[in-house]
């Protein structure tokens, strides 16, 4: 049976308006064209729907029984189409993001809050994970996109630069590291170091930067979570190298940070998505917000650390590191 929407709308128009002439005018088609649609519908069903004569048009018993069925069908269809139009016009749905822990706990929540204030029908699922896991979740379509570290060279993934994040030296306040004239790799290598786990993007960057300076990063202690690394620094176990964007660095009066005098301790934060994939309108809109916030502070070199709400309600990724 090949019944189409035009035939059903033609049937409902004839019933609702009480005749073919008025129904044809309402549908903006000729009366012969309307007659053909009704005949095609009857042919598909195999039964007459109207009893017609020169004076009136009456529903047959079959037509009477099919009327509520067709009315319900068109109501459901029109409702679905309205939802689709609304979906395309107003962002809605769930945005799933795999993101580095430092970014998930840092600038991202404020961006999400601003976005949801404007788009309350959008919800978020954040999966904070180390760099390798972020890539895996994007590749396996567990998330809509990822926020990770640049340098991704995989044929099925694309990246878009977001901002720059500098690693800083974390030390107990009053430590000799704060008085150093230069915090270079050879100098900080003389101190016990608290380094992140080898599977993290932070540790990978540290190892590469040390190797570039002709040295090897040898940890006195290792930690999986940045909060643990900070606690180790506070306990006097060593100096840590962590992203300036890490919220774990804030709120402690007994620790301080300083930049490392080596360009190798800078990482690019990027959006990671599957190559050739189409994103939901809400996801596309949020990535634009993320990039716009990053671009608003692009004129100021440095790491992306926080989100500031500026005049007019726009967001900007603020730049800076803690001083001594």
* Mean pLDDT along residues 29-35: 93
* CATH (domain of 55): 1.10.10.10
| 304: in domain | no
Quick one: 241 and 254 in the same domain?
Answer: yes
Which domain-ending residue is among 86, 105, 123?
A: 86
| 314: in domain | no
Quick one: 127 and 245 in the same domain?
Answer: no
* CATH (domain of 97): 3.40.190.10
pLDDT digits (tens, 9 = 90+) for 62-87: 999 999 999 999 999 988 887 777 66
Quick one: 77 and 116 in the same domain?
Answer: no
SS3 98: strand
Quick one: 184 and 254 in the same domain?
Answer: yes
pLDDT digits (tens, 9 = 90+) for 152-206: 888 889 999 988 889 999 999 999 999 999 999 999 999 999 999 998 889 999 9
* pLDDT of 9 above 70: yes
Quick one: 156 and 290 in the same domain?
Answer: yes
| 310: in domain | no
pLDDT digits (tens, 9 = 90+) for 219-241: 999 999 899 999 999 999 999 99
Domain extent for 276? 93-163+268-298
| 288: in domain | yes
Quick one: 190 and 236 in the same domain?
Answer: yes
| H helix intervals, the chain | 5-17, 20-27, 31-45, 61-89, 101-104, 108-118, 131-139, 185-188, 201-212, 226-234, 281-295
Whole-number average pLDDT of the chain: 86
Quick one: 256 and 107 in the same domain?
Answer: no
Residue 323: predicted pLDDT:
38
Residue 251: predicted pLDDT:
83
- The count of domains in the chain is 3
* Mean pLDDT along residues 86-111: 82
Residue 88: predicted pLDDT:
65
| 10: in domain | yes
Quick one: 102 and 195 in the same domain?
Answer: no
| Cα separations in angstroms, 110 against 86, 116, 162, 306, 317 | 26, 10, 16, 8, 10
* Mean pLDDT along residues 32-49: 92
When pLDDT is cut at 50, 70 and 90, the band that residue 297 belongs to is low
| 257: in domain | yes
Quick one: 58 and 104 in the same domain?
Answer: no
Task: Give the residue among 298, 107, 133 at the shortest CA–CA distance from 199.
Answer: 133
* pLDDT of 311 above 60: no
Quick one: 172 and 247 in the same domain?
Answer: yes
CA–CA gap between residue 119 and residue 104 (Å, rounded): 20
* pLDDT of 306 above 60: no
DSSP string computed for 180-231: -S---HHHHTTS-EEEE-TTSHHHHHHHHHHHHTT-----SEEESSHHHHHH
Output 106 or 210, whichever has higher pLDDT.
210
What proportion of the chain, given as a percentage, has pLDDT over 90? 59
When pLDDT is cut at 50, 70 and 90, the band that residue 99 belongs to is very high
When pLDDT is cut at 50, 70 and 90, the band that residue 92 belongs to is confident
Quick one: 148 and 34 in the same domain?
Answer: no
Which domain-ending residue is among 56, 86, 116?
A: 86
Residue 81: predicted pLDDT:
85
| 49: in domain | yes
* pLDDT of 133 above 50: yes
pLDDT digits (tens, 9 = 90+) for 237-251: 999 999 988 888 888
| 308: in domain | no
Task: Give the residue among 54, 55, 67 at the shortest CA–CA distance from 11.
Answer: 67
Residue 305: predicted pLDDT:
43
When pLDDT is cut at 50, 70 and 90, the band that residue 61 belongs to is very high
pLDDT digits (tens, 9 = 90+) for 171-181: 999 999 999 99
* Mean pLDDT along residues 104-133: 89
CA–CA gap between residue 230 and residue 239 (Å, rounded): 9
Quick one: 285 and 246 in the same domain?
Answer: no
* Mean pLDDT along residues 264-292: 89
Which domain-ending residue is among 86, 107, 127?
A: 86
């Amino acid at each position: 049976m090949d019944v189409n929407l035009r035939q059903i709308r033609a049937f409902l128009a004839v019933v609702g308006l009480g005749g073919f002439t008025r129904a044809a005018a309402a549908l903006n088609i000729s009366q012969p064209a309307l007659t053909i649609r009704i005949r095609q519908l009857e042919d598909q069903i195999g039964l007459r729907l109207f009893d017609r004569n020169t004076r009136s048009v009456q529903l047959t018993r079959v037509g009477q029984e099919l009327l509520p069925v067709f009315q319900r069908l068109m109501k459901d269809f029109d409702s679905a189409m309205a939802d689709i139009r609304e979906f395309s016009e107003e962002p809605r749905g769930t945005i799933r993001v795999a993101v580095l822990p430092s970014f998930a706990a840092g600038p991202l929540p404020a961006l999400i809050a601003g976005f949801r204030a404007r788009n309350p029908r959008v919800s978020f699922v954040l999966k904070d994970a180390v760099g390798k896991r972020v890539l895996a979740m994007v590749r396996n379509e567990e998330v809509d996109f990822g926020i990770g570290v640049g340098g991704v060279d995989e044929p099925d993934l694309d990246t878009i630069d977001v901002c720059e994040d500098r690693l800083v030296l974390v030390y107990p306040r009053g430590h000799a590291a704060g008085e150093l004239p230069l915090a270079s790799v050879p100098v900080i290598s003389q101190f016990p170091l608290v380094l992140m786990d080898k599977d993290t993007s932070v540790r990978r960057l540290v190892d590469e930067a040390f190797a570039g300076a002709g040295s090897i990063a040898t940890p006195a202690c290792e930690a999986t979570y940045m909060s643990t690394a900070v606690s180790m620094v506070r306990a006097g176990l060593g100096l840590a190298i962590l992203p300036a964007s890490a919220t774990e660095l804030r709120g402690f009066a007994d620790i301080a940070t300083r930049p490392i005098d080596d360009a190798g301790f800078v990482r690019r934060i990027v959006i990671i998505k599957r190559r050739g994939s189409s994103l939901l309108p809400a996801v596309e809109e949020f990535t634009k917000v993320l990039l716009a916030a990053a671009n608003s502070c692009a004129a100021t070199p440095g790491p992306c650390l926080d989100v500031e709400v500026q005049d007019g309600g726009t967001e900007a990724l603020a730049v800076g590191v803690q001083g001594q």
